[in-house]
Copies of this chain bind each other. A is one copy, B any other.
Amino acid sequence: MQPSQYFSGMSRRNLLSLIGLTAGTAAMYQAMTSLGLAVESGYKGPVKLEGDPKGASVLILGAGLAGMTAALELRQAGYKVKILEYNNRSGGRNWTLRGGDTYTELGGATQKCDFDEGLYINPGPWRIPYHHNGLLAYCRRLGVTLEPFQQLNHNAFLHSSKAFGGKPQRVRDIKIDFQGHVSELLAKVAHTGKLEGGVTKEDQEMLVEALRSWGALDKDYAYTKSIANSEFRGFAKDPGGGLGAAPVPSDPIALTDILSSGLWGSLANFALYEFQTTMFQPVGGIDMIGKAFTKEVGDLITYNAKVSKIHQDDKGVTVTYEDVQKPGTMAEEKADWCICTIPLTILSQIEINVGAPMQAAIEAVPYASSVKVGLQFKRRFWEQDELIFGGVSYTDLPITQISYPSTSFNTNGKGVLLGAYTWNGPHSYEFTSMAPEERVKRAVEYGTMIHPQYKDEFENGISMAWHRSPFTLGCAGDWTEEARKEHYDNLCQIDGRIVLAGEHASYIPAWMEGAILSSLDAITRLHQRVVAG
């Protein structure tokens, strides 16, 4: 099957006949299944670049996921491929920090990661939604072993420094109590038949029954303390075994307290399509993906190559770069075509002779600010003391969230938390402005307000402020709706011999899937042009 854009003007029925004719009924069946039951994805199966490129050469700028996807597929299709990469490693933002790694940010501060063996933090992307078909397909094809990533953990915390005396609340209490109170309020209206909005009497009766089940209401449609209700929100004392083991029901939190706490605002983080179960992470660190790509295309990469100029003319593209290991040493690379995956923050500072529309687009996209802090602790106290196994706690403190490792569950030994993860806003900028060790110190101070064990158990930490990354100057393309309307298509169009790719050239910015789908689309169009020419 071909990427969807091939079929944009074609009805589903025609598409199915076409597949049936060319690939037989087994393929048609699979296509029907995926078109009928599954959502239409930007990824429709392995890209097929048919037709002879006749020895055409492609120079790819950037050895992140977009660049390496392009390299993998284009070499396979018969192109001569080379990659230039500014960093001394491949993967781009697909990156994992482990003990012994060092990282120097803009401003010159160098951090050395002191994590124990086997522990890591993913400073960039870290989780994979179940519907990111392109990425999942490459993981399957390249043998990247996945494990579930816990996003929603009912036993993690929602915390507001201004509510409940600063005491963290369990996600399940806020989630289930809010649902219960809402159900009670609506059931009581519907029960009297007073519900407006065109709901029939019959539907109101069914609604009341549905709310009773869904909201854990009692026979009088009240959300009240009871064993039945505690079967959802948990008990004050759990059921046990033997004598004296009867469960004791727990007290629901009052609606007024939930409302004024604002903690309900975090519930959307678990319900969003992008964050729904089942999510994944690679076993061993997110960079297992980049490493798997590198195994395929690593021989094509020139590292430490800082591009300073991209020039195209009738005959081809010439890229000028500096070998950053020998400062001042410039070199050139030429090819028939160029796929540029350099982040727009950097690309907008590089001389490139593209048309005004693409140039304007390159300059139109600000990059999100994000800070992550990884903290190593002597023991997995969040599991042992608080029964929090994976998942995310959200807080109104500047650290925004604490994420617990989704691996090595229930083991003895040390563990690394994501102790802060900010995304834009003043907290991101504040953390970015700090020295790396200060970020770690602050993450520990704030975290102690949620997990007092931090104080005794903390060992070491490392921080990543993406606006200080020399390679991206930010975290990801941060499109506004207006900018997208004006510039997005201009950014993605092939300009002469140059086409851009990367998460910034997608509708899924900041996600690995965006980088991959953008790359597949770019090479598909480029290939069409090459074989047509």
Q: When the two chains form their complex, are residues A273 and B233 in contact, meaning their CB atoms are under 8 A apart?
A: yes
User: Which one, A119-127, A253-261, A295-303, is touching chain B?
Assistant: A253-261
Chain A positions 279 through 290: 1 when the CB is less than 8 Å from some CB of chain B, otherwise 0: 010000000000
Q: Are A452 and B130 in contact (CB under 8 A)?
A: no
Contacts of A103 in B (CB 8 A): none
A517 x B242 contact (CB < 8 A): yes
Residues of B within 8 Å of A176, CB to CB, are 271
Cα distance A237–B43 in the bound complex, in angstroms: 11
Separation of A264 and B179 alpha carbons in the complex (Å): 14
- Asked whether any CB of chain B lies closer than 8 Å to the CB of A148, the reply is yes
- A230 x B273 contact (CB < 8 A): yes
A39-B238 in contact (CB<8A): yes
| A184 to B196 alpha-carbon distance, docked (Å) | 11
**Contact among B183, B237, B246 with A182 in the assembled complex (CB-CB below 8 Å):** B183
Given contacts A182-B182, A521-B240, contact A133 B40 (CB under 8 A): no
Known A-B contacts A278-B390, A386-B33; A507 and B271 likewise in contact (beta carbons under 8 Å): no
Encode contact with B along A224-239: 1 for CB under 8 Å, 0 otherwise.
0000001111111111
CB pair B525–A243 under 8 Å, yes or no, is yes
Judged by a CB distance under 8 angstroms, whether A337 is at the interface is: no
Q: Does A348 contact B (CB under 8 A)?
A: no
CB distance from A311 to the nearest CB of B (A): 24
Interface 0/1 of A504-533, CB less than 8 Å to B: 011110000111111111100100000000
Given contacts A148-B406, A195-B185, A210-B178, contact A507 B245 (CB under 8 A): yes
Alpha-carbon separation in the docked complex, A178 to B207 (Å): 10
Please give, as numbers and ranges, the residues of chain B lying within 8 Å of A258 by CB-CB distance.
210
Residue of B nearest to A205 (CB): B259
CB < 8 Å: which of B8, B182, B265, B501 contacts A244? B8
A112-156 residues at the B interface, CB under 8 angstroms = 130-131, 133, 136, 139-140, 146-148, 150, 152-155
Query: Is A38 in contact with chain B by the CB < 8 A criterion?
Result: yes
Interface centre among A131, A150, A260 (most CB of B within 10 A): A131
Q: Does A109 contact B (CB under 8 A)?
A: no
Copies of this chain, whole number: 2
Given known pairs A131-B234, A385-B34, A389-B278, the reply for A239 and B199 (CB within 8 Å) is no
Q: Choose the segment among A76-84, A319-327, A409-417 that binds chain B (4+ C-beta atoms closer than 8 Å).
A: A409-417
When distances are taken between beta carbons in the complex, the residues of chain B under 8 Å from A186 are 182, 185-186, 189
Q: A241-B515, A409-B146, A489-B243 are in contact. Are A264 and B525 (CB under 8 A)?
A: no
B410 and A240 contact, CB distance less than 8 A: no
Q: Which of B277, B387, B492 contacts A133 (CB 8 A)?
A: B387
Interface centre among A41, A239, A274, A520 (most CB of B within 10 A): A239
Check if A276 sits within 8 Å of B155, measured CB to CB. yes
Residues on the B chain within 8 Å of A501, using CB: 241-242
How far apart are the CA atoms of A410 and B132 in the complex, in Å?
Answer: 12
Q: Which of A8, A42, A240, A277 has the most CB of B within 10 A?
A: A240
A267: interface (CB < 8 Å): yes
CB distance from A210 to the nearest CB of B (A): 5
Given B42, B271, B391, B493, which contacts A238 in the complex, CB threshold below 8 Å?
Answer: B42
Residues of B within 8 Å of A406, CB to CB, are: 148
Instruction: State the CA gap A171–B340 with chains docked (Å).
Output: 40
B179, B239, B245, B267: the one within 8 Å of A521 (CB): B245
| A197 on the B face (CB < 8 A) | yes
**Contacts A38-B385, A411-B140 hold; do A273 and B234 have CB atoms under 8 A apart?**
yes
- Complex interface: chain B residues within 8 A of A183 (CB): 182
State how many angstroms separate the Cβ of A487 from the closest Cβ of chain B: 13
Determine if A5 and B189 form an interchain contact, defined as CB atoms under 8 angstroms apart.
no
Knowing A154-B277, A259-B203 are in contact, say whether A241-B519 is a contact too (CB < 8 A): yes
A277 engages B233 (CB within 8 Å): no
User: In A1-59, which residues have CB < 8 Å from any B CB?
Assistant: 4-5, 8, 29-30, 33-34, 37-43
Check A131/B182 contact, CB under 8 A, given A214-B264, A411-B140, A452-B33.
no
Q: A33-B385, A240-B41, A241-B505 in contact; A410/B146 too (CB < 8 A)?
A: yes
The reply on A272 being an interface residue by CB < 8 A is yes
Give A40's nearest chain B residue, CB to CB. B237
Chain A residues 362 to 382 lying within 8 A of chain B, measured CB to CB, are 381
Q: Is the CB of A264 within 8 A of B185?
A: no
Cα A277 to Cα B234 in complex, Å, equals 13
A256 touches B521 (CB 8 A): no
Residues of chain B within 8 A (CB-CB) of A239 are 42, 506-508
Q: Could you jot down 12 A-B contacts, CB within 8 Å? A: A4-B244, A43-B240, A131-B155, A147-B409, A182-B182, A185-B195, A189-B195, A213-B264, A214-B267, A240-B507, A241-B505, A277-B391
| A39-B235, A147-B409, A172-B273 known, 11 other contacts, Cβ within 8 Å | A38-B386, A42-B241, A131-B238, A186-B189, A213-B264, A231-B273, A232-B268, A232-B271, A241-B506, A241-B519, A243-B493
